Every structure is written in C-alpha cells, then in structure tokens.
Amino acid sequence: MNQTRYPELAGKRVWITGSSSGIGAGMAKILAQQGCKLVLHYCRNETGVQQTLQTVAELGAEVEVVWGDFADYASLENVFHQAWSAFDGLDVLINNAGIVTKSTALNDNTGAAFNRTIAINLQAPYRLSTAFAKACIDAKQPGVIINNSSIHGQQTCEWFSAYAASKAGLDAMMKVMAVEWGPKGIRVNSLAPGVVPVERTAKILAEPKMAATWTKTMPLQRFGHVDDMGWATAFLISDSAAWMTGSVLTVDGGLIARGGYPARE
C-alpha cells in the first residue's frame, strides 16, 4: 500500500548513494511513496540497484541510476554531475553509501583497511556534500543533506576502530557543515541506525540465540527495519524538521539509552 505521510515531499529530487540494497533501498521505497524523484547509485551490486529501481518505479517514482566507486576520488566530480543533471538539479543528498569494516587495530597495523574505510565513509561524503552545497548556492536554492551514520559513532565495541572513527567523524563534520551552510538555507543532519538486519546480516540475526542476545538489550525488544530508516529519512527531509540542523537522529530501539547495562527484573 502506498503510504503518503509527507505530501510536501512530492517532486523533491533526491540522490541516495548506495541504494542497491539494505537501508538505501528502504529509503528509496519510502521516499518513492512520498512522490520524490529519485537518483539511485550503486558500485558493485547492479542486480540490486535494478531491483530497487523496479520497486520505486512500480510505486510511480521518476527514477534514474548512476554508477560510481567512491574510493576513486578522481571520479566523484563526474558522478555528482550525473546525479545533479538527472532532474536538472537536486533538492536532497543522502550520503548512505559506506562499508562496514570489522578488524582489530593490531590486525590492520599498516592502516590499509582503516584508510579505505575513511575514504569511502567520510572523505567521499565530504566531497559530495561540498559539491552539493556549492551547486545549491549557485542555483540560489535551499537544500538538505542527510548522512547515514551509525550508533557506532556514539558508542562502540571491539573490531570497529575504523568504522567507528568514520562514523564519529561523519557526525562531527555534519555539525560543522550545518553551522557553515545554515545561513545559505542548507540543512545538514545525521541518521544513526541501530541494529537493522539487511541482506548480509539477516540470516545470522534471525538465529534464535543471536536474536535473543540482541533484542533483550533493546527497550523496544525488536530489531529495526529498513522502513524505519526510510520514515526517519522522510521526516528529516520534510517541513516537520524545518528547524532541525546539526543534529544526530538516533533510531535504535533504545539500545544506546540502555547503555550496555544488564536488564533488571
């Protein structure tokens, strides 16, 4: 069923990076329901982005697809130009593309995995956000940037030094950009998802022992869904968030609020 909660989003031109699967695909579906024009992006998963394209097209969305490897800095300008040109401009940039790196610091003592994670998760959003802001200013129009961050930017655990650093950096960068670009009418916020099963994690998180281990730490006692992230994204774009910039919207079922403390009966 097509659910429209934010009619003011109809016709908004939105670029979602990394929209071939997972949270990016969920964002695309919800925004298509709101009447947005969508530019999808993929790097390796062409089959996935075609599935996302089919889903949003069936919902009536106008949609275009661009390809780009965000580890290749030389290509970023061209990818942005393609996305901006798809509908003669953009109203919203969603920096969703990223990689999850799990490695102890000692196992990555040369920093190779760390550097690649920072390149894709932090430097690429920096380059795309600055290009988007400049284009909006030149066009004399407002804009919205949403960074898909993570609860690991706030609290983290073993194996996530590279990933947590990239997400904490993304949140800090977002705040600076919000301050610099607010007077130009450009809002910048982060979305920090908790545990949301996606294609690569759904099977293991569905195992009863694993599911119980995680959900007992969440006051709402369930995993997130990609639609939860899609609706949070729609809110951040909407007029309901018109006075919201420089903020991290944490959507995690209460996991961070629980703070890792054992449950009291």
CA 166-138-76 angle, 5° bins = 40
Residue 213, burial from CB neighbour count under 10 angstroms (0-12, 13-18, 19+) = exposed
pLDDT in tens, 37-77: 999 999 999 999 999 999 999 999 999 999 999 999 899 99
126 annotated active-site: no
CA 31-2-10 angle, 5° bins = 40
Identify the pLDDT of residue 2: 66
Half-sphere exposure of 14 (CA within 13 A, CB side): 36
92-95: strand order across its sheet:
63-67, 37-42, 13-16, 92-95, 143-148, 186-193, 248-251
pLDDT in tens, 146-166: 999 999 999 999 999 999 999
Q: Is 148 helix (H, G, I), strand (E, B) or coil?
A: strand
Distance CA 229, CA 233 (A): 6
Identify the pLDDT of residue 263: 74
Place of tokens 């990239």: 166
Domains plus CATH for the chain? 7-250 (3.40.50.720)
Is residue 127 within 8 Å of 73, Cβ to Cβ?
Answer: yes
Q: Is 198 helix (H, G, I), strand (E, B) or coil?
A: coil
Among 42, 73, 126, 163, the one annotated catalytic: 163
Helices 124-138 and 73-86: crossing angle, nearest 10°?
Answer: 40
44: left (phi over 0), alpha (psi -120 to 50) or beta: alpha
- Quick one: tokens of 33? 């329901």
DSSP one-letter code for 219: T
**Length of the chain (residues):** 265
Pairing of strands 186-193, 143-148: parallel
Identify the pLDDT of residue 1: 55
Interval 87-91 mean pLDDT: 98
- pTM for this model (two decimals): 0.97
